[in-house]
Amino acid sequence: MITPAIVQAYVAQKQLDTILQMKAPITVSFLAQGEYNQNFLLTDQQHRQFVFRLNYGTQINVQNQIKYEYKALEFLANSGVTPYPYYLDDTHQYFEQGVLIEEYFVGRPLRYETDLMAAAEIFAKVHRLSINENQTQFFITETRICEDRIREGEQLLKTVWHSTKIKAEQVKLLAQLRDWCVKHQDNAYFAQQPLSFVNTEVNANNFIIGPQHSWLIDWEKPVISNAVQDLTQFLADTTT
């Protein structure tokens, strides 16, 4: 288990105070942890703060997850509504995990009742970024969005089809929904529309709402796809 003291030793050895232009001493505190990442907060004597992120795995089957996240944030920097990436260590020489240091924002999670305009502005700034060949070669790119979502659903449902813990009528309902999606998919319709950089995890906790500015964080599994993927997830009852 990585502790703040271990991170503190890494910060000192790598002279991150110089790299990040922080005024020592730097304090390290636990911030948050998920299934695939552990996050610490770096704070210096001038109260400058950064997120120190350790990666434990990938949800999208990429070989170098932490570099994928770093490159995503690097590309998104021009949007002005995402964390800026300051440091990448994917050598695995000190930690088994990859390391990413990114900008830290102060604020609260999004509220659907009051913050839809802020969310709309964030989506607009992210989704209008121009995509070029460099991005489509590096990032996962989905050009047949309906097929891709059905394939993803099939992966998630693999354990369901033969489960003894789920009622037969529930399995049947899921199969009917899957079959409906297969029958009504229309890749050609979406193929006519421009590609955008999409987050794919736009729940309320991934928005930071501040008094003057707001941001979208947690870019673990972005893809190049149709912007409708973010918008429909954001508006779905299961998300809201």
Q: Summarize the confidence of residues 190-197 as an average pLDDT.
A: 95
What is the percent of the chain where pLDDT is above 70?
100
Q: Summarize the confidence of residues 155-166 as an average pLDDT.
A: 92
Are residues 119 and 144 in contact, defined by beta-carbon separation less than 8 angstroms?
no
Are residues 69 and 100 in contact, defined by beta-carbon separation less than 8 angstroms?
yes
* Tokens read off for 182: 């297969």
Say which residues have a Cβ less than 8 Å from residue 109's Cβ, sequence separation at least 6. Answer: 204, 205, 207, 208, 209
Look at residue 134 in the predicted model and tell me its pLDDT.
93
Specify which residues 209 forms β-bridges with. 108, 214
Are residues 51 and 39 in contact, defined by beta-carbon separation less than 8 angstroms?
yes
What is the Cα–Cα distance from 59 to 221, expressed in whole angstroms?
A: 7
Say which residues have a Cβ less than 8 Å from residue 21's Cβ, sequence separation at least 6. Answer: none
Look at residue 238 in the predicted model and tell me its pLDDT.
83
CA trace torsion 69, 34, 22, 85 (10° rounding): 10
**pLDDT category, 91, cuts 50, 70, 90?**
very high
What is the percent of the chain where pLDDT is above 90?
95
Q: How many C-beta atoms lie closer than 10 Å to residue 54's C-beta?
A: 22
What is the Cα–Cα distance from 31 to 236, expressed in whole angstroms?
A: 29
Look at residue 239 in the predicted model and tell me its pLDDT.
77
Q: Summarize the confidence of residues 46-67 as an average pLDDT.
A: 97
Task: Please tell me the CATH code under which domain 4-103 is placed.
Answer: 3.30.200
* Domain positions in the chain: 4-103, 116-235
**Within 13 Å of residue 149, how many CA atoms lie on the same side as its CB?**
21
Its CATH architecture, for the domain 116-235, is Alpha-Beta Complex (3.90)
Chain mean pLDDT for the chain? 96
Look at residue 1 in the predicted model and tell me its pLDDT.
85
Are residues 182 and 150 in contact, defined by beta-carbon separation less than 8 angstroms?
yes
pLDDT in tens, 215-235: 999 999 999 999 999 999 999
pLDDT in tens, 105-118: 999 999 999 999 99
Per-position DSSP letters for 146-161, written without gaps between them: HHHHHHHHHHHHTTTT
Look at residue 240 in the predicted model and tell me its pLDDT.
64
What is the Cα–Cα distance from 217 to 53, expressed in whole angstroms?
A: 13
Using CB atoms within 10 A of its CB, is residue 93 exposed (0-12), middle (13-18) or buried (19+)?
exposed
What is the Cα–Cα distance from 139 to 68, expressed in whole angstroms?
A: 8
* Tokens read off for 199: 């987050």
What is the Cα–Cα distance from 180 to 154, expressed in whole angstroms?
A: 13
